């Protein structure tokens, strides 16, 4: 056996070992991902989420609750858009109205952060997302709903990672709950003149996006124009559409076939 053939066999042997190791790592990553979504978002010091909800059986009942100062005209457009993008997925979409945290609950879990794009430095009080998920869990039981979206004008930080601040939205799939913060959707946040039409378009995109995670799962769409694409900036939110791309529509169809409706 010459030296070249000998090295070739060694290379093939190591390639097989490497392939096995890659397969093991991939399997571990899948197991880890399943574990993360099974346990849900970790609790903060002040808010520990209760036991998990039962899996959703589509069609279901959806509620929207508003925490902050909002006008009554927002709900009708949200409901219409959700029924258009996710047809037949909801037996009902209910307006749960305005909600105010008690002063005791409101003050809990707050962390102070500098507004991230303000020239004169301004400190804002950020609220943990689990504060809202816990509210949603309680309201779901009270109103016998499958899913609830909480819309707030308060700034948020993630209870799963305190370094993730000024969130626009977050979905908690095991608890079938999601939150949208309107703070960064307003032009005034960027020291520009208020634009109500632009604000409502952005808000509806984010509502559809977060509810989409509860239906389609945690992954984002790679199509930048799809409403399920990941948006890190307000510009990316403005550039994507209000609608699902063809691939996401196919996934929606598959879910409909699974639940036979």
- Active site residue ranges: 210
| Whole-number Å distance between alpha carbons of 212 and 86 | 8
The helix or strand, by DSSP H or E, that contains position 151, with its residue range, turns out to be: strand 147-152
**What b-and-e string marks burial along 114-126, b requiring 16 or more CB atoms within 10 Å of the CB?**
eeeeeeeeeebeb
CA atoms within 13 A on the CB side of 80: 6
**φ/ψ of residue 37, rounded to 5:** -80, -20
> Which alpha helices (H) appear in the chain, and where do they start and end?
3-39, 74-85, 103-107, 129-143, 196-216, 234-239, 246-259
| Whole-number Å distance between alpha carbons of 44 and 139 | 20
Supply 166's token pair: 């000024």
**What b-and-e string marks burial along 70-106, b requiring 16 or more CB atoms within 10 Å of the CB?**
beeebbeebbebbeebbeebbeebbebeeeebeeeee
Per-residue 3-state assignment (H helix, E strand, C coil) for 29-82: HHHHHHHHHHHCCCCCCCCCCCCCCCCCCCCEEEEEEEECCCCCCHHHHHHHHH
């Amino acid at each position: 056996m010459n030296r070249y053939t000998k090295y070739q066999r060694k290379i093939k042997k190591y390639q097989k070992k490497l392939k096995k190791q890659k397969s093991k790592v991939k399997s571990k990553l899948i197991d880890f991902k399943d574990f993360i979504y099974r346990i849900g978002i970790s609790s903060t010091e002040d808010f520990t989420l209760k036991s998990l909800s039962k899996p959703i059986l589509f069609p279901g009942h959806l509620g929207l609750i508003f925490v902050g100062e909002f006008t009554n005209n927002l709900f009708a457009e949200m409901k219409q858009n959700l029924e258009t993008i996710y047809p037949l997925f909801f037996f009902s979409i209910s307006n749960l109205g305005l909600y105010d945290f008690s002063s005791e609950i409101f003050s809990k879990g707050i962390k102070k952060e500098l507004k991230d794009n303000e020239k004169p430095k301004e400190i804002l009080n950020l609220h943990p997302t689990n504060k809202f998920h816990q509210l949603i869990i309680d309201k779901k039981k009270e109103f016998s709903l499958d899913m609830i979206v909480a819309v707030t004008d308060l700034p948020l930080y993630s209870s799963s990672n305190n370094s993730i601040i000024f969130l626009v939205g977050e979905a908690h799939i095991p608890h079938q709950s999601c939150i949208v913060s309107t703070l960064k959707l307003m032009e005034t946040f960027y020291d520009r003149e208020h634009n109500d039409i632009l604000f409502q378009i952005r808000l509806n995109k984010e509502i559809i996006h977060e509810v989409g995670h509860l239906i389609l799962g945690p992954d984002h769409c790679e199509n930048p124009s799809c409403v399920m694409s990941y948006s890190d900036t307000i510009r990316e939110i403005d550039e994507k559409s209000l609608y699902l791309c063809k691939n996401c529509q196919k996934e929606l169809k598959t879910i409909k076939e699974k639940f036979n409706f």
